[in-house]
Amino acid sequence: MPVLPRYTLVIIPLHSSLDARHFFLWLKRMKDLEQQRDALWHGLEMVDRARDWYRQEIQSVHQRLRQGSEDSGENEYSPGSLPKHVSLLQDKIQHVNYCLCDFISSAERVLLPQHPTEHPEAEHLSSSKSRRLQQRTLNALKQQNYVLTKEVSRRSQWITQLEQEKAVLIKQLLEAQFESHAQSNWDNSIFV
């Protein structure tokens, strides 16, 4: 259960409007920092829950793999086909992984100093950290590419299915028209 933050009300007499303005800005900055801290704590709780879920799923997959090797061929699914809910779950997991990777790389880009003259320690930023950032960005792009490719493939299959259904409907329509036309010709030949 999350602990609710406790706030204290402090009334400070100020001597000038400039002091009041500085104090107000300081209070606003403290409030923003407290809100950021609360959001970070909530995010950390979510990451911990996600980590526990990932570990459970990994153990479950390992157990199913062990059982699958013991069963040796008694597979309820055909090779290469997964149940629909498993496929959807994999898509969701990949999407979450992409979002996390994108968030981390974006956060690191935002946190990196923009001008080395403003932050002298930025000049000493190690190249390994820069390489890690590039690798994470590359991984995020690869993950995004994978998710988009999967989505394009899924939609392409859907379009193909719709086109096949359209062809069947057109064929049925033409057959119905042909039968109707043949029936009307037959009726006309009877009356002649």
Query: Which pLDDT tens digit goes with each residue over 35-47?
Result: 989 988 998 898 8
Do both 105 and 151 map to the same domain? yes
Q: Quote the number of domains for the chain.
A: 2
Do both 43 and 94 map to the same domain? no
pLDDT band at residue 186 under the 50/70/90 scheme: low
Token pair of 96 as six digits: 């979450």
Query: In this structure, is residue 138 part of a structural domain?
Result: yes
Do both 63 and 134 map to the same domain? no
Do both 96 and 190 map to the same domain? yes
Do both 24 and 60 map to the same domain? yes
Phi, psi (5° rounding) for residue 126? -70, 150
Do both 95 and 190 map to the same domain? yes
| Amino acid occupying residue 58 | I
Query: In this structure, is residue 7 part of a structural domain?
Result: no
Do both 159 and 102 map to the same domain? yes
pLDDT exceeds 60 at position 68: yes
pLDDT band at residue 168 under the 50/70/90 scheme: very high
Per DSSP, 68 falls in state: H
Contacts 24+ apart (CB under 8 A), 143-152: 143/94, 143/97, 143/98, 143/101, 143/102, 144/98, 144/102, 146/94, 146/98, 147/91, 147/94, 147/95, 147/98, 150/91, 150/94
Query: In this structure, is residue 164 part of a structural domain?
Result: yes
Do both 48 and 142 map to the same domain? no
Do both 50 and 103 map to the same domain? no
Query: In this structure, is residue 161 part of a structural domain?
Result: yes
Do both 103 and 168 map to the same domain? yes
Do both 95 and 184 map to the same domain? yes
Do both 107 and 148 map to the same domain? yes
61: containing domain = 14-68
Q: What is the mean pLDDT of residues 87-109?
A: 81
Query: In this structure, is residue 42 part of a structural domain?
Result: yes
pLDDT band at residue 178 under the 50/70/90 scheme: confident
Query: In this structure, is residue 75 part of a structural domain?
Result: no
Window from 91-95, 127-131, 139-143, 157-161 with minimum mean pLDDT: 127-131
- Whole-number pLDDT of residue 52: 93
- Whole-number pLDDT of residue 59: 92
Please name the helix (run of DSSP H) or strand (run of DSSP E) that holds residue 52, with its range, or none.
Answer: helix 17-71
Window from 22-26, 108-112, 131-135, 140-144 with minimum mean pLDDT: 108-112
Query: In this structure, is residue 143 part of a structural domain?
Result: yes
Query: In this structure, is residue 117 part of a structural domain?
Result: no
| Amino acid occupying residue 44 | L
pLDDT band at residue 103 under the 50/70/90 scheme: confident
Window from 65-74, 95-104, 168-177 with minimum mean pLDDT: 65-74
Q: What is the mean pLDDT of residues 101-128?
A: 63
